[in-house]
């Protein structure tokens, strides 16, 4: 089943990009010393994150299980590819993906995607794919669902009023469990770990908040059925009264886990 069915348009428009300094740091962590190095992007989505890495890699494999998202990723990325760039798109689950023959990755990027994977199985596969000195970068920011501010609390309550009070904001999906990621990695070939955080400040408009909601697996537009227009009017009116200037501040941070094989 496509967990994000119906969300691709909103995902493409309303999910935040990575800050430039974080991209630079991840590239440096991979020890990239030439444009020949290769990148594996797991959970490419609509290509917004991968787009930031195009200037640094000439050999890229992008995996995305949602056909609609992968279609949008191709539209976004292919026009930006340089003539000497090789990009291979894989439609399906990363755990069983068929990589190009003899292909290897110097950087594996899993941005907002590692929690969806069968992690031990994926790490076993990556042991055959990642170069001897390659790295895995697991990147997560806190979901807007998990924000502890007044305006987001109101948004959550309103979504629940339409979709049911038992709506579950699953911690394994919306607040990625970095510690359990560490546990899995420590029992894999990639047990040499480094962590860091990268703070980010954002300002949302009411329409951007609504678009973000529709980009999630918990509150896609189809979940509201024939009530979605009423929901939109109600939430936009509520947010306007909360912030007449239409500026909703958010303080977030990216949590980054870098995993390597131990030096022998």
| Residue-wise pLDDT tens digits, 42-66 | 999 999 999 999 999 989 999 999 9
| Total domains in the fold of the chain | 2
| Confidence band, pLDDT 50/70/90 cuts, at residue 175 | very low
Q: Are 57 and 37 in contact (CB under 8 A)?
A: yes
Mean pLDDT of 78-87: 90
The whole-number pLDDT of residue 169 equals: 46
pLDDT score for 47: 96
Assign 180 a pLDDT band (cuts: 50, 70, 90): confident
Judged against a pLDDT cut of 60, whether residue 72 lies above it is answered with yes
Q: What is the pLDDT of residue 174?
A: 42
Q: What does the pLDDT read at residue 168?
A: 52
Does residue 179 surpass a pLDDT of 60? no
CB 106 within 8 A of CB 78: no
Q: How far is it, in rounded angstroms, from Cα 248 to Cα 28?
A: 33
Query: Tell me, what's the pLDDT at 167?
Result: 58
Statement to judge: residues 157 and 117 lie in one domain: no
- Specify the pTM: 0.88
Can you give the pLDDT at residue 5? 55
pLDDT, averaged across the chain: 88
Do 134 and 14 fall into the same domain? yes
Residue 221 domain boundaries? 143-170+206-246
Task: Reply yes or no on whether the pLDDT at 173 is more than 50.
Answer: no
Residues 4 and 32 both lie in one domain = yes
15 and 50 share one domain: yes
Pair 262, 191: CB distance under 8 Å: yes
Residues 154 and 106 in one domain: no
Q: Are residues 120 and 214 in the same domain?
A: no
Look up tokens 């998202």; give the residue.
69
pLDDT for 172: 36
Q: What is the mean pLDDT of residues 111-123?
A: 91
In the predicted structure, residue 188 carries a pLDDT above the cut 70:
yes
Note whether 55 and 11 are same-domain residues. yes
140-159: pLDDT as tens digits: 998 777 777 889 889 988 99
Same-domain check for residues 3 and 127: yes
* 5 and 134 belong to one structural domain: yes
């Amino acid at each position: 089943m496509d967990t994000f069915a119906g969300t691709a348009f909103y995902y493409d428009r309303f999910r935040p990009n990575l800050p430039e300094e974080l991209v630079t740091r991840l590239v440096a962590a991979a020890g990239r010393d030439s444009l020949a190095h290769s990148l594996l992007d797991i959970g490419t989505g609509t290509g917004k994150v991968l787009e930031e890495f195009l200037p640094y890699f000439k050999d890229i494999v992008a995996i995305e299980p949602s056909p609609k998202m992968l279609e949008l990723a191709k539209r976004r990325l292919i026009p930006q590819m340089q003539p000497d760039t090789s990009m291979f798109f894989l439609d399906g689950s990363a755990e069983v993906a068929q990589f190009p023959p003899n292909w290897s990755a110097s950087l594996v990027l899993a941005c907002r995607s590692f929690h969806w994977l069968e992690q031990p199985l994926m790490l076993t596969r990556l042991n055959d794919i990642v170069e001897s000195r390659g790295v895995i970068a697991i990147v997560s920011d806190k979901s807007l669902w998990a924000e502890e501010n007044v305006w987001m609390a109101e948004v959550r309550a309103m979504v629940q009023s339409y979709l049911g009070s038992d709506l579950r904001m699953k911690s394994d999906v919306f607040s990625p469990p970095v510690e359990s990621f560490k546990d899995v990695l420590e029992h894999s070939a990639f047990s040499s770990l480094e962590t860091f955080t990268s703070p980010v400040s954002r300002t949302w408009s009411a329409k951007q908040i609504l678009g973000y909601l529709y980009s999630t697996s918990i509150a896609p537009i189809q979940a509201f059925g024939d009530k979605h227009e009423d929901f939109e009017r109600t939430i936009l009116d509520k947010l306007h009264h909360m912030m007449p200037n239409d500026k909703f501040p958010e303080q977030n941070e990216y949590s980054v886990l870098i995993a390597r094989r131990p030096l022998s």
